[in-house]
Amino acid sequence: MEQVQQALPASIDDVLAALSAQRYIADRSLATTIYLALKRHKPLLLEGEAGVGKTEIAKVLASMLDTRLIRLQCYEGIDVNTAVYEWNYTRQMLHIRLLEASGANNDAAMQDIFGPEFLIRRPLLEAIDPGNKKAPVLLIDELDRSDEEFEAFLLEILSDFQVTVPEIGTLTAPEPPIVVITSNRTREIHDALRRRCLYYWIDYPTLEKELAIVLAKAPEASEKLARQVCIFVKELRAMDLFKSPGIAETLDWVSSLVTLEIHELQEGPVRDTLGALLKYQDDIEKVNSGNALSKLLHKVIGA
């Protein structure tokens, strides 16, 4: 299959502009790391708290490069059958019975049942499929949730971008996929995998950066409401909560307030919508306890 030449950003400024066009507000250091990952065909390992925009980068890259996003969601117990390939045993059995009924040669039948039409391609095999017209973006999401054995299995794929299927042979990607790996650091990723990647830590944004994100992602919110929300969230992150809100929660809260046609923060609506921002009852009770919420809102309105 004919390959399509993929147009990559020519400079770091181009990456920044392309991300901005996709309404992703990024620091120059992140744009530099993305630029290097694209130019050097290196996997990009992103770490940071949940909800700070790691997964979103893979989606934005696929959109800005006009290519397919292939997502592998990791979890404890994920194995090769789920991540790479497996044979469609049901179809194979039906095919064998049809061949037997027609009196076909057994050796020919065995060759037939290991053809491409019986192979179920999982995300990793899809990403390196020699038939891909353009290199896709491969998102390996929340790798820290998988077992260390699976992480070790990834080493060959990330180094050589190839997979061996014993019945068929070795399949190699003509153009390496653009790989984005995310981790929330529920466990440490092994050094061997880190060495194969460019690394970037995504932290909670500054107030002004988060305001820019909210205005870009939720333009229906007034600037006054957006600023108050960002200040409120910043104050929450300074509290001793079990789980501080990420950018995703900030955007969800703004959207909830806009849906309720709220144009500035007031105690009643804030109390009623905290579930869009905080995901643990202990955290909600802490914010609602005593006059904690009133003090928070006083800081927000006085800021």
pLDDT tens, N- to C-terminus, the chain (303 residues): 566 666 889 999 999 999 999 999 999 999 999 999 999 999 999 999 988 999 999 999 999 999 999 999 999 999 888 999 999 989 888 887 887 777 766 666 666 788 888 889 999 999 998 888 899 999 999 999 999 999 998 988 888 888 888 888 888 888 899 999 999 999 999 999 999 999 999 999 999 999 999 999 999 999 999 999 999 999 999 999 999 999 999 999 999 999 999 999 999 999 999 999 999 999 999 999 888 899 899 888 876
Tokens 């090769």 label which residue? 80
Three-state DSSP state, 121: strand
CA quadruple 19, 216, 248, 288: dihedral sign: positive
Q: Are strands 119-121 and 169-172 parallel, antiparallel or unpaired?
A: unpaired
Three-state DSSP state, 234: helix
How many Å apart are CA 89 and CA 94, to the nearest integer?
9
pLDDT value at residue 92: 84
How far does Cα 103 stand from its chain's mean position? 50
pLDDT value at residue 223: 94
How many Å apart are CA 272 and CA 266, to the nearest integer?
10
pTM of model > 0.75: yes
Q: In this structure, are residues 234 and 222 in contact, taking their beta carbons and an 8 Å threshold?
A: no
pLDDT value at residue 299: 86
pLDDT value at residue 287: 94
Angle formed at CA 95 by CA 89 and CA 101, multiple of 5 degrees = 140
